[in-house]
Chains A and B, each alone.
Chain A
Amino acid sequence: MNDLPSFVISTLQATVRAGTPLLFAVLGTIFTERSGVMNLGLEGLMLVGAIGGFMASYNTSSLVVAILLAMLAGAVLGFIHAFFTVTLKINQIVSGLAITMLGTGISGLWGKDYIGVIARRFEPVKIPLLSDIPYIGRIFFEHDLLVYISFLLVPVMWFVIYKTRAGMTLRAVGESPDAADAKGINVFAVRYLFTILGASITAIGGAYLSLAYNSMWIENMTAGRGWIAIALVLFATWDPFKSLIGAYLFGGITALGLRLQAIGAHISPDFLKMLPYLLTIAVLFFTSTDTLKRKVGAPASLGIPYSREDRT
C-alpha cells in the first residue's frame, strides 16, 4: 500500500496529459458552435493538426512554426466548412462528415512519409514554485507548454465569451441571427471568423497528440477523440470551465485504462480501450435528458443556416 499515493498521482498526471487534446478540441468547438455553426468534422481537424504540426516540427525543428502550421491546416478546413455551411447553406451534419473524411484522407496522404520518424517534441517544463506544491504540483505543473496554454485558454475563453463585446456579438449571432443582423452585425462574417478560429484551436488538440502525447505520427492517431469531443461539448453545455471537467473525466478513464494494463490487471486491453467510447455514450444519454429539461447553453440557432432571403 506504500505505492498507492504515487500510483494515484501518476494516474492523475496522466489524466491531464490524456485530457489535453480533448480540451483543445472542445474549446475550439465551443467557439464554432456558439456562433451557430455545428461542426462534426473534429476528427478531421485534429488529424490535419497532428500531421501539419508534425511535418513542420520535423522540417523546421521549430515548435512555434509547428503549432502555427497545425492551426493553419485546421483553419483551411474550417474555412471550407464555413464556405459550405454559411455561404452555400448546405446541411451542416453532412458537411462535417465530409470534413472528417477529407481530413482523415489528407493527413494519411501527407503522413505517408512521416511514419516512424522522430521530430522535435514538447518537453515537460516544471513551473518553479507551483510545481513544489505537494501532490498538486506533480499533477498539474510538470507538463509541457501546450498543457499550460490549455490551462490559460479556459479562463481566457470564458472571459471573451461572457465579458467582452466580441463575445456578446458571438452569442447574439448564435442565439438570434435575425436580431443580430437587424442590429447591424455581419452574421456571415462572425460565423466565418469563429468557425475558422474554432477549427484552428481544435487542430492544436491534434498537434498535441503528435508533438507531445505520442510524439510521433500514426495514421488515424486521433482514434475517435474528435467524436468524443463533440459529445463533451454537449456535456459542457458550451461553457469553457465545464469543458475542463469533461476533458479530464475522459482523460482519467483513458489514463486509468492504460495504468491498469501496465500493472497487469486481468482485463483484456481491448475492453479497456472500449471504456472512453462507452463513457461517451453514457455521457450523451445523461446530458440529453438533462439539457432538454434545462435548455441551458445550447445556442438557439445551432445547426440552422442563416439566410436573409428566408427571414420572417
Chain B
Amino acid sequence: MRIRIEKRLEIPRYAGIVVPIISVAFALLIMGVILLVFFMGRLGNLSSAFRETFEAYKEMLTWPFANRYGLFSTFMRMVPLAFVALGLSFAYRMKIWNIGGEGQLYMGALASTWGALFLFKDVKSPLMMIVLLSIIGATAGAVWALIPALMKAFARTDEIVVTLMLNYVAIFWVDYLVYGPWKDPKGYGFPGTAPFPSQARLPSFFDDEFHIGIFIALAIALLLQYIYKKTGWGFNSQIVGDNLLAARYSGINVRNYTIIALVVSGAIAGLGGAVQMMGVQHRLQHGFSPGYGYTAIIVAWLAKLNPLAILLVSFLFGGLLVGNDQLQMFYKLPMALISVFQGLVLFCLLGGEAVFKYRLAIVKEVPESE
C-alpha cells in the first residue's frame, strides 16, 4: 500500500466553502507571525511580543463585532465594499478584470455631489432627490467603466491596466474639485465640499449610525442572484467566462456582453459611491475611501462571485477594516497591515484552490503475477 497524489476529476462542492474559510484562517496565522516579528522588533522580548500579538488579535477580531459602536462601524464600512464587490463580480464572472472599482466609486461620489450641491439643488423632495442622485451616481460609474469597455470591445485593449489608470484619474479629479472650485468656503481650509442638504441624505436609524444603504445593497444582490440563476444573460455570461470560443460558436455577441458587463459593473460601484455620500459622508472629501475598491476585489473572490456570499464577506471585511483602524489607534500599527492581510488571503485562497485540484489516494500494490 502506498499513498500518491492524483488529480481530482471533479472538485467537490464543499470545497467552495471549506477553501475560503481555511484560507482566511491560514492568512490570519501568517499575519500573526508577521505581527510577532514586528512586536519583537519593538519590544525586544519574545514573551511580551506574544502577549502583545495575542491582545492585538483579540482587539482586531472582537471589537468590530462585539459592541454596539463597533458593529455600527462595521456596517458602515460594509456598504461601499458590498456595492463595489457586487459590481466587480458582474464583470469577473465573464473573466473581465475590472480593477477600477475604486475609480468608479469615486466618480459615483463625485457625480452625486455635483447633483446634490449644484444640479438638483432646487429639488426639495427627499425621495426624488435620493432617486436622482442614485441615478446620476450610477451613470457616472457606468461612464467611467464604458471607457475600458469600448476599448476592450473594439480594439481588444487589455482592461486591467486601463481600469486601474482611471482610478488615479478619478482620485486626482476629486482632489482638484475639493481643493479647488468645490471647496467649502466655510470649511476652515479643510479639503472637502459643503455638506449635502438634508433632503439629499439617506434615512438613518439608531442616532444616524445606521443608514438604509445596506438594504439597497441587499436588493441589488438579490437582483443579481436572480439574473445569474434565472435569465438568459446569467447563463450566457457564464459561458463567455468559461469558454469564449464556445460562446462565439453558440452565437453570443461577445462584444455586446463585454460592454454591458463592464458598464453594469461600473454602475453598481458608482451607485455605491452615491450611497456612501448620501448615507455616511454627506460631503465629498479628499481620500474618503480607504481603498474600498481594492478590498472589494478580495471580497468578490472570497465569495466566489456569489452575490449573497458577497454581502456576508463584505460584512466580515468591513469588520476587518474597523479592526485595522483599532490597531492603528491603540497599537500604533500601520494602515498597510490590511494590505498585507489582503495579499495573504488571496494567496492562501489561490493556493488552497490549487491544492484542492489534487487529492491523496491510497493505492493498493497489486502483487505481480508469477
Residues of B with C-beta under 8 A to A230:
160-161
Q: Does A131 contact B (CB under 8 A)?
A: no
Q: Which of B179, B336, B351, B355 contacts A108 (CB 8 A)?
A: B336
- Chain A positions 81-139 with a Cβ under 8 Å from a chain B Cβ: 84, 88-91, 93-95, 97-109, 111-112
Alpha-carbon gap, A93 to B155, bound state (A): 20
Closest chain A CB from B170 CB (angstroms): 9
Among B47-55, B194-202, B339-347, which stretch is in contact with chain A? B339-347
User: By DSSP majority rule, is chain B's interface helix, strand, loop, or mixed?
Assistant: helix
Alpha-carbon gap, A219 to B97, bound state (A): 26
Q: Does B256 contact A (CB under 8 A)?
A: no
B339 in contact with A104 (CB, 8 Å): yes
B 334-370 to A, binary, CB cutoff 8 A, 1 in contact else 0: 1111111111101100110111000000000000000
Q: Does A224 contact B (CB under 8 A)?
A: yes
Q: Does A312 contact B (CB under 8 A)?
A: no
A94 in contact with B301 (CB, 8 Å): yes
Residues of B with C-beta under 8 A to A101:
294, 298, 339-340, 342-343, 346
B350 in contact with A94 (CB, 8 Å): yes
Closest residue of chain A to B31 (Cβ to Cβ) is: A105
B173 in contact with A105 (CB, 8 Å): no
Q: Does B158 contact A (CB under 8 A)?
A: yes
Alpha-carbon gap, A108 to B338, bound state (A): 10
Using A271-B172, A278-B169 as known contacts, say yes or no to A98 and B347 having CB atoms under 8 A apart: yes
Q: Which of A97, A112, A223, A278 contacts B99 (CB 8 A)?
A: A97
Q: Which of A106, A108, A277 has the most CB of B within 10 A?
A: A277
Residues of A with C-beta under 8 A to B158:
234, 284, 288
B343 in contact with A99 (CB, 8 Å): yes
Closest chain A CB from B155 CB (angstroms): 5
Residues of B with C-beta under 8 A to A100:
343
Q: Which of A227, A285, A309 contacts B7 (CB 8 A)?
A: A309
B 279-306 to A, binary, CB cutoff 8 A, 1 in contact else 0: 0000000000000001001100100000
Alpha-carbon gap, A281 to B147, bound state (A): 10
Q: Which of B162, B337, B347 contacts A281 (CB 8 A)?
A: B162
- Chain A positions 244-303 with a Cβ under 8 Å from a chain B Cβ: 268, 270-271, 273-274, 277-278, 280-281, 284-285, 288-289, 292
Closest residue of chain B to A231 (Cβ to Cβ) is: B161
Residues of B with C-beta under 8 A to A292:
155-156
Closest chain A CB from B102 CB (angstroms): 12
B34 in contact with A277 (CB, 8 Å): no
Closest chain A CB from B27 CB (angstroms): 11
Q: Does A221 contact B (CB under 8 A)?
A: no
A112 in contact with B350 (CB, 8 Å): no
Q: Which of A88, A104, A109, A234 has the most CB of B within 10 A?
A: A109
Q: Does B176 contact A (CB under 8 A)?
A: yes
Q: Does B180 contact A (CB under 8 A)?
A: yes
Closest chain B CB from A93 CB (angstroms): 6
Using A84-B350, A94-B346, A108-B336 as known contacts, say yes or no to A277 and B165 having CB atoms under 8 A apart: yes
Q: Does A153 contact B (CB under 8 A)?
A: no
B151 in contact with A84 (CB, 8 Å): no
Alpha-carbon gap, A309 to B358, bound state (A): 13
User: By DSSP majority rule, is chain A's interface helix, strand, loop, or mixed?
Assistant: helix
Residues of B with C-beta under 8 A to A91:
350
A 28-54 to B, binary, CB cutoff 8 A, 1 in contact else 0: 000000000000100010000000000
Closest residue of chain B to A280 (Cβ to Cβ) is: B165
Using A224-B164, A277-B168 as known contacts, say yes or no to A105 and B350 having CB atoms under 8 A apart: no
A270 in contact with B175 (CB, 8 Å): yes
Q: Does B261 contact A (CB under 8 A)?
A: no
Residues of A with C-beta under 8 A to B235:
none
Closest chain A CB from B166 CB (angstroms): 7
Q: Does B233 contact A (CB under 8 A)?
A: no
Q: Does B190 contact A (CB under 8 A)?
A: no
A284 in contact with B341 (CB, 8 Å): no
B173 in contact with A109 (CB, 8 Å): no
Closest residue of chain A to B152 (Cβ to Cβ) is: A288
Q: Does A80 contact B (CB under 8 A)?
A: yes
Alpha-carbon gap, A197 to B38, bound state (A): 28
Q: Which of A93, A98, A228, A271 has the most CB of B within 10 A?
A: A98
Q: Does B62 contact A (CB under 8 A)?
A: no
Residues of B with C-beta under 8 A to A109:
34, 38, 334, 336-337, 340
Using A97-B297, A288-B155 as known contacts, say yes or no to A40 and B350 having CB atoms under 8 A apart: no
A227 in contact with B350 (CB, 8 Å): no
Q: Does B204 contact A (CB under 8 A)?
A: no
Closest 7 CB pairs of A and B: A108-B336, A102-B343, A105-B339, A105-B340, A101-B343, A270-B176, A98-B346
A-B pairs with beta carbons under 8 Å apart, 27 shown: A89-B354, A93-B97, A95-B350, A101-B294, A101-B298, A101-B339, A101-B343, A103-B343, A104-B336, A105-B339, A105-B343, A106-B336, A108-B335, A108-B337, A108-B340, A109-B38, A109-B340, A112-B334, A219-B334, A224-B165, A227-B165, A270-B176, A271-B172, A281-B166, A288-B156, A288-B158, A292-B155
- 11 new A-B pairs (CB below 8 Å) besides A105-B338, A268-B180, A288-B156? A84-B350, A90-B353, A94-B346, A109-B337, A270-B176, A270-B179, A273-B172, A281-B162, A285-B151, A288-B158, A292-B156
- A residues whose Cβ falls under 8 Å from a Cβ of B: 40, 44, 80, 84, 88-91, 93-95, 97-109, 111-112, 219, 223-224, 227-228, 230-231, 234, 268, 270-271, 273-274, 277-278, 280-281, 284-285, 288-289, 292, 309
